[in-house]
Structure 1
Amino acid sequence: MTRRISPEGLALIKQWEGCKLTAYKDVAGVWTIGYGSTGPHVTAGLKISQEEADQLLLADLDRFERAVERLVKVPLTDGQFAALVSFAFNVGEGAKGFAGSTLLKKLNAGDYAAVPKELMKWVNAGGKKVSGLVNRRAAEAGLWAKGSFVSSNTVEAKPAKPPVLTIDNAVKVATPASAILQNFTSGPAQIILAVAFVIGAAFLLWKFVLKQQEASA
């Protein structure tokens, strides 16, 4: 049975794709409806309900869920799986997209920490950085960091082990986060993110000190 995207991941895709219940031509002149559904069933004047749009999206996602499940050779949390399905749905699952990406190669080599930075390389359209893609990649990177279950084709789903709080772990969290921050242009958004990042790092350090004090007590 194909692994399905989590409700949180599905909500992220809906947010970024947007939904139109009346058929329209996209920038390439292709008749489209719902959350980007295309095909011979989509013609001029076609109208659907919100429920039908949701069902079309689930059907469209099936091949991307299968692709991520087939191509990724290491265990993934639900959040990580959902982030990759969203990414593949946006850039394509083929050789010019997810299947041929450096992201996939590094992930299959066990380099989980490289994924957020690799996601942020896919933010251009027409040779220019697109703020919408920057924001979507950042949202996917955030989803990548979440999730409580680990599973793969060969590993049964089980609760993930809580991470051990160490200085090294704090550095591992800081590295991909800083890569994401670098992709935001200067302005209020960057300042807010930078402040949030500093507060988060300070919190991790505080928790580390408390753990050390408890251990020595």
Structure 2
Amino acid sequence: MKSRIRNALVGITALGAVAVGYVGGKEGLKLYSYPDIIGVWTGCYGETNGMHKGMKFTKGQCDSMLVDSLVDHETGMRKCLKNPDAIPDKSYLAFLSGTYNIGVGAFCRSSMARLANLGDLRGACNALMLHVNAGAKKKVRGLVLRRTDERAMCLEGLK
């Protein structure tokens, strides 16, 4: 499946480099595994896949993991969108950041994906704000700030 963040010939694309910096900056870097706010073992830039207690990483390992994970999340996100290449870069990046944070399954079931598929990108951007809870109902200030920033970038992409 096509990727806007990784190219088979040149490696990471310009948008991919922006995605790594943006998502990595939002997630923060920890060179060890730790339980996140809801108790899920996490490491590096918010990676949960394969994490368990006592793991340690180098920055290089975390950077590589982030690129691979972003490509995986992008692949899943694209499968849920009818026309992902019609989405402007900034909006696409906001959706990818959201997908990385909430997971592909949650993105695919979200109002973001549903509204984007209906052609309502403004509504899809605003729907980012529906994902500010950790766990079932615990509203988290950091997620509110992150979603506010993602929404602003998403809407900026529509100008």
Residue 65 of structure 2 is matched in structure 1 by 56
Residue 34 of structure 2 is matched in structure 1 by 24
Change (3 A) 1:58 1:145: same
Q: Write the deviation string for residues 82-126 of structure 1: whole angstroms up to 9, x where unpaired.
A: 1111111111111xx111112211111111121232111211234
Cα distance in 1, alignment partners of residues 123 and 133 from structure 2: 19
Ranges in structure 2 where 5+ consecutive residues have no aligned partner:
6-14
Cα distance in 2, alignment partners of residues 124 and 38 from structure 1: 17
Residue 76 of structure 1 is matched in structure 2 by 87
Alpha-carbon contact 2:4-2:16 (below 8 Å) kept: no
Residue 169 of structure 1 is matched in structure 2 by none
Q: How many residues align?
A: 146
Change (3 A) 1:46 1:27: same
Change (3 A) 1:31 1:90: closer
Cα distance in 2, alignment partners of residues 30 and 127 from structure 1: 16
Residue 176 of structure 1 is matched in structure 2 by none
2:99 aligned with 1:88: yes
Offset at residue 12 of structure 1 (A): 2.4
Change (3 A) 1:31 1:120: closer
Q: 1:13-162 to 2 correspondence within 5 Å?
A: 13-27=23-37, 30-40=40-50, 42=51, 44-74=53-83, 75-94=86-105, 97-125=106-134, 126-147=136-157
Cα distance in 1, alignment partners of residues 115 and 79 from structure 2: 16
Offset at residue 44 of structure 1 (A): 4.7
* Identical amino acids, percent of aligned pairs: 32
Alpha-carbon contact 2:91-2:125 (below 8 Å) kept: no
Equivalent AA in structure 1 for residue 94 of structure 2:
A
Cα distance in 2, alignment partners of residues 20 and 77 from structure 1: 31
2:9 aligned with 1:8: no
Ranges in structure 1 where 5+ consecutive residues have no aligned partner:
148-159, 164-217
Cα distance in 1, alignment partners of residues 96 and 137 from structure 2: 24
Structure-1-length-normalised TM-score: 0.59
Structure-2-length-normalised TM-score: 0.77
Alpha-carbon contact 1:122-1:137 (below 8 Å) kept: yes
Equivalent AA in structure 2 for residue 9 of structure 1:
A
Moved more, 106-115 or 17-26: 17-26
